Structure 1
Amino acid sequence: MKIGIISDTHGCVERFTLAYDKFFKDADMIIHAGDILYHGPRNPILPDYNPAKLAEKINSLPMPTIICKGNCDSEVDTLVLNSPIQAPYTYVVIDGFKIVTTHGHHVMSDQEKDAMAAHFKADLFVSGHVHINVLEKRGNTIFLNPGSPALSKRTDHRQTAALLTDTKIYIVDIDSGETILSLDK
């Protein structure tokens, strides 16, 4: 099993394509934790901002793509994406491994995330929104924020995505290919 996990692409087609080409092209599935197409009013418009092309890219993917609605995603985005934008969370079970994804703007605190993860008996709880990586285990659940491949808010501004395999979860720098964080599953 290999699942690509990404969030906060904000319409940046080249950044999504880089993550896909380097890490996701042989994945069984991609999970997107929201803020897919629109840059958002507080974010700068980056040179590769092209939400229509990003929608085309996502629509052309050969693997299932599970998308959770972010605070910058709108109803009109559902008209250009073939995969539904699910809200307020997605719930996927693969080989008995339970994955809950929510963008994070409604479930902000660790306490709220812990409660939601416990309610769904999640093995992996994915969120985005803050554009900063998290990879930690609390109780029986691994909590992951893959960061952003386009608008990182890390102090070092590294652009990131994540991978889930049969044995590990990795957060990777999509430019250098370096593993930033990893955790056994």
Structure 2
Amino acid sequence: MKIGILSDTHGHEMAWADACDKFFKGAEMILHAGDVLYHGPRNPRKADYNPAGLVERINNSAVPVVIAQGNCDSAVDASCLDVPICAPYAFVIVDGVRILVTHGDACMSDEEKDAWAKKFHADLFISGHIHTTVLEKRGSTVFLNPGSAALSKRADGKATCAVFEDGVVRIYEIATGAVLEELALG
């Protein structure tokens, strides 16, 4: 099983395209932790800001896409997409692995995330919102923030995405393909 994971594309078409082309080939599913199309008032627009192009790529994806609603995702955004934006979370079970995806703005603290993970018996808890990467295990749950594919707030400025494959979560730097962090679920 291979699942592509990203967050905070904020309308930047090539952030999606680069992640899909470089890391998500052969994936059974793509999970997006929100803030899909709109750049938001605090975020800059980079040269690849093209929400219409991003809509077209998502709508034409050969791989199923599951999206959790971010604080910048609106009803207008949802009306353009052929896949629903799930609020306040999406929950999927793939090959027996229980995955909870939320943007993170409605569930910010570790205590809140731990409570949600416990309620859903989540093996993998994915969030976005902060535009930085997190990969850690607490109890029986791995907590992942893939960072931002478009507008990184990491100290090194690296745009990132993640892949869950064969029980291991890996965070990748999109530009170079370097593995920045990895952690096994088991």
CA distance in 2, matches of 1:136, 1:52: 35
Residue 169 of structure 2 corresponds to residue 159 of structure 1: no
State the secondary structure of the residue aligned to 1:152: coil
Query: Counterpart of 1:90 in structure 2: which amino acid?
Result: A
> Following TM superposition, by how much is the alpha carbon of 1:167 offset from its aligned partner in structure 2, in angstroms?
2.5
1:102 matched residue in structure 2: 102
Identity rate of aligned residues, in percent? 57
CA distance in 1, matches of 2:138, 2:16: 29
State how 1:34-73 maps to structure 2 within 5 Å: 34-73=34-73
Runs of 5+ unmatched residues, structure 1: none
Residue 93 of structure 2 corresponds to residue 93 of structure 1: yes
State the secondary structure of the residue aligned to 1:108: coil
CA distance in 1, matches of 2:2, 2:11: 24
CA distance in 1, matches of 2:12, 2:106: 24
State the secondary structure of the residue aligned to 2:136: strand
The runs of 4+ residues in structure 1 deviating greater than 4 Å are none
Residue 126 of structure 2 corresponds to residue 126 of structure 1: yes
Could you report, residue by residue, the CA deviation over 1:132-175 in whole angstroms, capped at 9, with x for unpaired residues? 10000000100000001110000000000000012210000000
1:150 matched residue in structure 2: 150
* Superposition CA RMSD, Å: 0.6
Query: Counterpart of 1:5 in structure 2: which amino acid?
Result: I
1:184 matched residue in structure 2: 184
> Following TM superposition, by how much is the alpha carbon of 1:184 offset from its aligned partner in structure 2, in angstroms?
1.2
1:2 matched residue in structure 2: 2
Query: Counterpart of 1:115 in structure 2: which amino acid?
Result: A
1:82 matched residue in structure 2: 82
> Following TM superposition, by how much is the alpha carbon of 1:35 offset from its aligned partner in structure 2, in angstroms?
0.1
Give the total of aligned pairs: 185
CA distance in 1, matches of 2:149, 2:89: 21
State the secondary structure of the residue aligned to 1:130: coil
Q: TM-score, normalised by structure 1?
A: 0.99
Could you report, residue by residue, the CA deviation over 1:42-69 in whole angstroms, capped at 9, with x for unpaired residues? 1011111010100000111101100000
